[in-house]
Structure 1
Amino acid sequence: MADLILHHYTTSPFSEKVRTILGAKKLPWKSVFIPPIMPKPDVEVLTGGYRKTPFLQIGADMYCDSALIADVLEHLQPEPTLYPEPEKGMSRILAQWADTTLFWAAMAWNLQPKGAAEVFAKAPPEAAKAFGEDRGKMSAGNMTRLRPADATSAYKSYLRRLSDMLDDKPFLLGEAPCIADFSAYHPLWYTRRIESVKGILELTPAVVDWMDRIAAIGHGSSSKFSSDEAIAVAKAAAPHTLLTDSTFQDDHGIPLGSAVTIRAESFGLEETPGTLVAATRTHYTLERSSERTGTVHVHFPRIGYVLRKAEA
C-alpha cells in the first residue's frame, strides 16, 4: 500500500478528527505540516485550489474533506468500523450534524474575544488580523455566523444532548467509537485547548469522560514528511482511486470528460478546476496536471460540494 500522507496543522480541529481515526485504525501515516492561512502554494499545486485542512494524499490521489477521508480509511482498514450496523445511517447523519451545526456553535464559543485573545496571545498582533481576514474570505458573506451569546446557548444545549446519549453507553452509539464520535469530538477538543473557555465542558461530566476515552485512542504512528517530498511522490505515481463506487450518476447534465469546477457549498469557496473523470453517488473526481505534480486526481464528497461546468 502506498504511504498515507496527511497534510494538516497541529491546531486544526478537522485534522484532529482524522488523526484520531488514523489512531483508531492503527494505520501508519506521514505528516506534512501546512500553513493555517493562505498563501499555501504547495497545497494548491496538489489540490488545484482546495485549501481547507486537512487533505489526505495517497500517491497521485488527493482526498479532500474529512468525511471522504474517513471513507478511504474505512476501505483501507475495515476494522474497527466507523460505520457499525445497524446504526450505519444514523452514524453518518450524526457525523454530518457534528461537522456543521455543532462545529460552528463550538467555534463561535471558542473564538469569542477572550478565547481568541488566548489563542493568539503569543503571536504578533498582525497574526490575529491575518487569521480573521483569511477565514472571512473563506466564507465570503455566504454564511450566517452565530454571535457568541447565541453560540453559548446552542453549545450548552448540544453538550447536554451528547451527555444524554452517553447515559448508558461509553460512546455515542454503542460500545465502540464510530464516525459520529470522531466528528463530535474535534470541536470539543478545540474548546478543551483554551483555558478561558473550556469550563463550559464541566457542565456535562459524562461528555468530559467520553472525551477522555477518545483522546486515549491517540494518533497512531506518524513520521515527518515535507511538502517537496509529497509533491515528488505525486509526480512519481499514477492516479489509482481507493473509492469503490464507480457508476456514473448524472444529476447535472455534465458528461464525464467535461471541464468543470468544484467548490464547497458554504465555507472554503475557492474553486478547483479540472476534467471530470468520476461522478458517482458518493463522490466527484477531477483530473489535473502540472509540471510539478504530473497528473493527479482530486476527489471530493458529493454532499457539501457544488459541481459546475467550467465557463468557456
Structure 2
Amino acid sequence: MTQLILHHYGFSPYSEKVRLAFGHKNLDWQSVQTPVQAPKPDLTPLTGGYRRAPVLQIGADVYCDTLLILREIERRHPEPTLYPGNQRGLVYALSTWWDRATFFPAAKIATSIMGDQIPADFIEERKTVMRQDFSKPASLKDLPLNLQRMHAHMTWLADMLKDGRSYILGEQLSAADLTAYHMLWFIGKNGGPEAEAMLPLHPLRGWMDRVAALGYGRRQEMSAENALAAARDATPEMPRIRADTDPSGLKPGQSVVLRTDDYAREPVHGALVAANAEEVVIRHENERVGVVHIHFPRAGYDVLASEAAS
C-alpha cells in the first residue's frame, strides 16, 4: 500500500507545507478533511490521540509532524529532491528555527484582524491546548510584540535571499523554502492585505511567488471512513531503523508514552517498535483500524517508559 493519504484542513499552515511538497514532486495524493478542533473521532484512531494537522497515512503506517512527513515523502519519491546538496541537517535546522520562532507571532498577527470571526469555542479550546488567547482583543494587545518578532525573523530570511538566489539554499528549492513560506501564506490567507501591510514582504515577493507556483500535485478527495479502512486492511511496514538504538535506553516492546515538547501535549500510548536519534515508531491498536505504526520525529517529542510517565 503506497497511496499517500493526507489528513488536513484547508487553512492549516503546516498542511500547506505538505501540499506544496506534493506539488514540487508532482504526486498523486488522497485528501481527507479533518476537523479544525477536537474532537477528531476519525483521526485519533490512527494517531493514538495525537491531534495536530497534518498527518500522512500510508496504509497502516502513520506519519506525524511535517519534519518527518517531508522526510518520508522524500524517501519514497526522491526526485526532485527537497534536500539538495547533501544539506539535510541544515534544512532541518532552518525549518525548526522558523516553525518555532514564527508560528504564534504569525497566527496572532492574523487574528488581530480577523479574530472576531473565530467561533468562541475554538478560542477557548486553543486557550486550553496552546495557552494562547487568539481573540481579537488579546491579539491586538500583543500585536506590537508579535510585529517585532516577525520583522526580526523575516529580516534574516530576506538576508538569505538578498544575493538574488531563487531559493534559500541557492537555485534549488528545499523543504526550508516550504517551511518559511507557509506561515507567510497563513498571514495573507487569514489576515489579508491589512496584515501583509504590517510586514516587510517586498523583498520576499519574488521568492514567495516561486514557491506558490509549485501547486499541489494531483489531489483526490477520500472519506475518513475509507482512510480508516485502508489502515485496517493493511499491515504496518517493517521499520527501516534499528529497533534497539534509542539514545535513552528504551527497548522494543516496552510500553511508552509520547508527548510533544511544546503544546497540545495529549499523550500517545503504545509499545515501542523502534527508535533512534531521528525517529520514534510506536505500535498502537484499536478496534477501528487494528494495528498501526505511528511515526514521530525525535526532535520535538518526549518519550518515556509508561511507568516513568505516570
Provide TM-score, normalisation by structure 1: 0.90
Aligned with 1:136 (options 118, 127, 144): 127
Q: How far does residue 140 in structure 1 lie from its aligned partner after superposition?
A: 4.9
Whether 1:49 aligns to 2:40 is: no
Partner residue in 2 for 1:225: 222
Moved over 6 A (4+): none
After superposition, give the CA deviation of every residue in 1:57-111 in whole Å (9 maximum; x if it has no partner).
0000110001100110010111121112253322221111111112222223222
CA distance, structure 2, for counterparts of residue 74 and residue 250 of structure 1: 23
Partner of 2:282: 286
Query: Which amino acid in 1 is paired with 2:302?
Result: V
Q: Verify: 1:87 aligned to 2:93, yes or no.
A: no
Determine if contact 1:102/1:184 at 8 Å carries over to the other structure.
no
- Aligned partner letter, 2:212: A
Q: CA deviation at 1:35?
A: 0.3
Once residues 139 and 174 of structure 1 are traced to their aligned partners in structure 2, the CA distance between those partners, rounded to angstroms, is: 35
Amino acid at match of 2:114: G
Q: Is residue 106–residue 191 contact of structure 1 (8 Å, CA) maintained in 2? A: yes
Within 1, Cα distance between the matches of 2:179 and 2:167? Answer: 12
Equivalence for 2:136: none
The CA deviation at 1:172 is 1.0
Match in the other structure for 1:260: 256
CA distance in 2, matches of 1:86, 1:235: 37
Identity within the alignment, %:
38
1:151 aligns with 2:146: yes
**Unmatched tracts of structure 2, length 5 or more:** 133-138
Q: Distance in 1 between matches of 2:198 and 2:170?
A: 25
The two structures, once aligned, show a CA RMSD in angstroms of 1.8
Deviations 1:111-143 (A, max 9, x none): 22x2323xx2xxxxxx522111222222358xx
C-alpha distance in structure 1 between counterparts of 2:82 and 2:125, whole Å: 33
Q: 173, 177, 180: which is aligned to 1:184? A: 180
**Which residue identity is paired with 1:214?**
V
Work out whether residues 63 and 300 of structure 1, in 8 Å CA contact, stay in contact via their aligned partners in 2. yes
Alpha-carbon distance in structure 2 between the residues aligned to 1:86 and 1:41 = 40
Aligned position for 1:20: 20
CA–CA distance in 1 between the matches of 2:17 and 2:201?
21
Q: Pick from 189, 196, 199: which aligns with 1:198?
A: 196
- CA–CA distance in structure 1, aligned partners of residues 271 and 57 of structure 2: 19
Tell me whether 1:174 sits opposite 2:170 in the alignment: yes
Q: Deviations over 1:201-237 (max 9, x none)?
A: 4x33221221111110000001000110000000000
Please say if residues 6 and 57 of structure 1, whose CA atoms lie closer than 8 Å, have aligned partners that are also in contact: yes
CA distance in 2, matches of 1:94, 1:148: 25
Q: Does 289-298 or 230-239 show the bigger shift? A: 289-298
Q: Which sits farther off after the overlay, 209-218 or 191-200? A: 191-200
CA shift at 1:247, angstroms? Answer: 5.2
- The TM-score with structure 2 as length reference comes to 0.91
Q: Distance in 1 between matches of 2:90 and 2:294?
A: 28
Matches within 5 A, 1:83-122: 83-112=83-112, 114-117=113-116, 120=117
**Contact 1:115–1:197 at 8 Å: present in 2 too?**
no
Matches of 2:301 and 2:131 in 1, distance apart? 16
Give the aligned residue type for 2:179.
S
Contact 1:283 / 1:299 at 8 angstroms: preserved in 2?
yes
